[in-house]
């Protein structure tokens, strides 16, 4: 076991914040969500290495404090709104836990194919520590999802949470710019600061294409960096195109441009596909709500035209895109991904109800991973849980008048609808993100947005045909606000 330099700091600071400054612990946890490559402790050696990520460690401290406060007050309340979404997520976690009966039942009678294309061996199914650890990841994820919902039942906390997450994402993007400058100039990249994970999957900062450096910043690999920044850029939509303000108009637009540029520089196919998914989701939502006009189509058309022009005229861009999309389709990594999907589906066909037990087989595909490890019951419960969140988000979006146009349509619920969509679509192409805390944060914050926790309310200014957006807190009854783990809370602005 090896404690990293930043690990020593957080091992000391974390408990102190949990005891004396829980509010700052919450802020630090949300800020650290993009830091998936920052490990507190590394356990093991060689190829058998695992680490405790900083967001998970801080999240556990936050959960522990919240549980102790709830026990002290003898109260474990659930938010009155959004309970259906939480119930279905809890059912999914329960199915995942129950699936562990499969390794016990199949004990040594079924062989699981290896995920390595070079070493295509098999191993017999037994209940192993990785199965228990996999379920604990899911339990922690649900706990963090619940905590996100519970602690954001007020407008002030929701705004603080969004600002903190955007600050962490912006720092991640700026660190990616530093990484890019180091790789271009030949200056050593200071990986020892935040890229402290020693597992092979956490060394994405070492990757590069044949023509261009790849960027992973504080994430384990470029695709995970892309997925965190895609969530962040989705959440900036209401503040760039919706007429709202988070920090200031200039800062909001600067953050949007920074995130967009870094996403393009990651040389990750996940980033490019994700940007396309975001554009399509926005267009579909606007079209369904009847606020899309021919003029609005000029923006995506201009973007596609510019991308095509860059691809045709800039040799480096053409080489990178060819390698990411066309050459990669026949590469070793693509074939290995396809093999893992095929193996997981084969396990599902043999054991359709509960799969072969959670974390028994790896698949680089969200659906195949759930089917292979938790069967049709796992996929069904997960699908219903996601559907309940999307349905609640769309109901919130639909509640606003079409007369507000796009500026009135884009609120927090709109941004979370887009963020959750792009997260699930990219996960279907790259794998389930259940081991990363930011996935559960997105699900939890989406539930928050779907139940009407929004810090902006449009009103028409007298004597003006335009709609002005002002900060307007909504009233909340004591029954809607669960026990919080903070001694003091920020007052809701009047």
The percentage of residues in the chain with a pLDDT greater than 70, rounded to a whole number, is 82
Comparing 59-73, 100-114, 172-186, which segment has the lowest mean pLDDT? 100-114
What local confidence, expressed as pLDDT, does residue 481 receive? 33
Q: How far is CA 114 from CA 125, 143, 342, 363, 433, in A?
A: 12, 31, 12, 11, 21
Q: Is 313 exposed, middle or buried, given 0-12, 13-18 or 19+ CB atoms closer than 10 A?
A: exposed
What local confidence, expressed as pLDDT, does residue 31 receive? 97
Taking the C-alpha atoms of residue 203 and residue 109, their distance in angstroms, rounded to an integer, is 36
Instruction: Tell whether the model's pLDDT for residue 298 goes beyond 50.
Output: yes
Q: How many CB atoms lie within 10 A of CB 91?
A: 17
Taking the C-alpha atoms of residue 375 and residue 351, their distance in angstroms, rounded to an integer, is 7
Q: Which residue has the higher pLDDT, 249 or 312?
A: 249
Max intra-chain CA distance, the chain: 77
Ramachandran angles phi, psi of 2, nearest 5°: -130, 125
Mean pLDDT estimate for the chain: 83
Residue 210 DSSP one-character state: S
Question: Is residue 10 very low, low, confident or very high in pLDDT (cuts 50, 70, 90)?
Answer: very high
Taking the C-alpha atoms of residue 140 and residue 148, their distance in angstroms, rounded to an integer, is 12
What local confidence, expressed as pLDDT, does residue 110 receive? 83
- The predicted model gives 469-479 an average pLDDT of 35
Question: Is residue 494 very low, low, confident or very high in pLDDT (cuts 50, 70, 90)?
Answer: very low
Question: Which of helix, strand or coil describes residue 457?
Answer: strand
The neighbouring-strand residues paired with 90 are none
Q: At what angle do helices 269-288 and 222-235 cross, to 10 degrees?
A: 20
Q: At what angle do helices 249-265 and 155-185 cross, to 10 degrees?
A: 40
The neighbouring-strand residues paired with 123 are 112
Q: Quote the pTM value.
A: 0.87
Give the pairing of strands 111-113 and 48-53: unpaired
What local confidence, expressed as pLDDT, does residue 468 receive? 35
Q: What is the pLDDT of residues 410-444, one digit of tens each?
A: 888 999 999 999 999 999 888 899 999 999 999 99
- The predicted model gives 55-75 an average pLDDT of 91
Instruction: Tell whether the model's pLDDT for residue 229 goes beyond 50.
Output: yes
Q: Which residue has the higher pLDDT, 82 or 487?
A: 82
Choose the most confident range, by mean pLDDT, from 44-58, 329-343, 461-475.
Answer: 44-58
Q: What is the pLDDT of residues 69-95, one digit of tens each?
A: 988 887 777 777 788 999 999 999 999
Instruction: Tell whether the model's pLDDT for residue 255 goes beyond 90.
Output: yes
What local confidence, expressed as pLDDT, does residue 427 receive? 92
Q: How many CB atoms lie within 10 A of CB 193?
A: 13
Instruction: Tell whether the model's pLDDT for residue 467 goes beyond 90.
Output: no
Task: Provide the strand spans (E) within 104-258.
Answer: 111-113, 122-124
Give the pairing of strands 122-124 and 2-3: unpaired
- The predicted model gives 323-330 an average pLDDT of 56
Instruction: Tell whether the model's pLDDT for residue 288 goes beyond 80.
Output: yes
Instruction: Tell whether the model's pLDDT for residue 483 goes beyond 70.
Output: no
Question: Is residue 276 very low, low, confident or very high in pLDDT (cuts 50, 70, 90)?
Answer: very high
Q: Which of 217, 429, 458 is nearest to 333 (CA)?
A: 429
Q: Which of 29, 102, 154, 151 is nearest to 350 (CA)?
A: 102
**Contact indicator for 265, 180 with CB cutoff of 8 Å:** yes
Question: Is residue 96 very low, low, confident or very high in pLDDT (cuts 50, 70, 90)?
Answer: very high
The kind and range of the H/E element at 230 are helix 222-235
The kind and range of the H/E element at 41 are strand 39-45
Comparing 18-32, 68-82, 179-193, which segment has the lowest mean pLDDT? 68-82
Instruction: Tell whether the model's pLDDT for residue 465 goes beyond 90.
Output: no
**Contact indicator for 430, 204 with CB cutoff of 8 Å:** no
Taking the C-alpha atoms of residue 109 and residue 126, their distance in angstroms, rounded to an integer, is 9
CA 286 from centroid of its chain's CA atoms: 24
H runs (alpha helix) in 236-268: 237-240, 249-265
Instruction: Tell whether the model's pLDDT for residue 17 goes beyond 60.
Output: yes
Question: Is residue 289 very low, low, confident or very high in pLDDT (cuts 50, 70, 90)?
Answer: confident
Instruction: Tell whether the model's pLDDT for residue 479 goes beyond 60.
Output: no
Q: Which of 150, 134, 135 is nearest to 86 (CA)?
A: 150
Ramachandran angles phi, psi of 189, nearest 5°: -80, 130
Task: Provide the strand spans (E) within 101-173.
Answer: 111-113, 122-124
Sign of CA dihedral 61, 63, 69, 72: negative
Choose the most confident range, by mean pLDDT, from 27-41, 209-223, 357-371.
Answer: 27-41
Question: Is residue 210 very low, low, confident or very high in pLDDT (cuts 50, 70, 90)?
Answer: low
3-state secondary structure 166-193: HHHHHHHHHHHHHHHHHHHHCCCCCHHH
What local confidence, expressed as pLDDT, does residue 371 receive? 95
What local confidence, expressed as pLDDT, does residue 18 receive? 94
Comparing 80-94, 321-335, 366-380, which segment has the lowest mean pLDDT? 321-335
CA 238 from centroid of its chain's CA atoms: 18
Taking the C-alpha atoms of residue 298 and residue 308, their distance in angstroms, rounded to an integer, is 15
What local confidence, expressed as pLDDT, does residue 102 receive? 94
What local confidence, expressed as pLDDT, does residue 11 receive? 95
């Amino acid at each position: 076991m090896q404690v990293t330099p930043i690990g020593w700091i957080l091992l000391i600071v974390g408990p102190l914040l949990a005891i004396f400054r829980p509010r700052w612990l919450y802020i630090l946890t949300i800020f650290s969500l993009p830091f998936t490559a920052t490990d507190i402790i590394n356990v093991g050696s060689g190829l058998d290495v695992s680490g405790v990520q900083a967001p998970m460690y801080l999240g556990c401290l936050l959960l522990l404090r919240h549980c102790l406060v709830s026990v002290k007050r003898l109260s474990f309340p659930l938010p009155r709104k959004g309970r259906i979404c939480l119930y279905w997520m809890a059912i999914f976690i329960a199915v995942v836990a129950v699936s562990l009966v499969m390794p016990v039942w199949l004990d040594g009678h079924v062989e699981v194919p290896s995920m390595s294309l070079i070493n295509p061996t098999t191993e017999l199914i037994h209940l192993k520590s990785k199965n228990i650890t996999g379920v604990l990841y899911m339990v922690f994820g649900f706990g963090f999802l619940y905590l996100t919902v519970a602690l954001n039942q007020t407008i002030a906390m929701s705004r603080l949470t969004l600002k903190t997450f955007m600050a962490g994402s912006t720092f991640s993007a700026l660190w990616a710019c530093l990484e890019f400058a180091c790789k271009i100039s030949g200056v050593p990249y200071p990986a020892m600061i935040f890229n402290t994970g020693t597992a092979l999957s956490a060394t994405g900062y070492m990757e590069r294409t044949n023509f261009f450096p790849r960027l992973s910043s504080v994430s384990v690999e470029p695709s995970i960096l892309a997925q965190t920044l895609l969530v962040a850029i989705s959440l900036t939509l209401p503040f760039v195109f919706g007429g709202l303000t988070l920090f200031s108009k200039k800062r909001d637009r600067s953050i949007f441009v920074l995130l967009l540029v870094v996403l393009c520089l990651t040389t990750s196919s996940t980033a490019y596909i994700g940007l396309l998914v975001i554009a399509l989701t926005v267009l579909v939502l606007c079209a369904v709500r009847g606020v899309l006009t021919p003029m609005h189509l000029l923006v995506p058309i201009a973007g596609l035209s510019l991308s095509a022009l860059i691809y045709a005229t800039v040799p480096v861009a053409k080489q990178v895109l060819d390698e990411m999309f066309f050459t990669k389709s026949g590469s070793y990594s693509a074939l290995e991904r396809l093999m893992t999907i095929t193996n997981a589906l084969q396990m599902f066909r043999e054991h359709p109800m509960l799969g072969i037990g959670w974390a028994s087989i790896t698949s680089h595909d969200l659906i195949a991973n759930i089917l292979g490890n938790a069967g049709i019951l796992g996929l069904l419960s997960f699908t219903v849980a996601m559907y309940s969140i999307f349905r609640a988000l769309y109901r919130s979006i639909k509640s606003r008048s079409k007369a507000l146009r796009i500026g009135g349509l884009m609120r927090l619920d709109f941004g979370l609808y887009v963020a959750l969509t792009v997260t699930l679509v990219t996960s279907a192409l790259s794998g389930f993100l259940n081991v990363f805390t930011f996935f559960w944060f997105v699900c939890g914050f989406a539930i928050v947005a779907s139940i009407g926790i929004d810090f902006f309310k449009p009103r028409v200014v007298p004597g003006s045909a335009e709609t002005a957006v002002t900060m307007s807190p909504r009233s909340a009854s004591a029954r809607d606000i669960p026990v919080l783990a903070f001694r003091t809370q920020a007052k809701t602005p009047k």
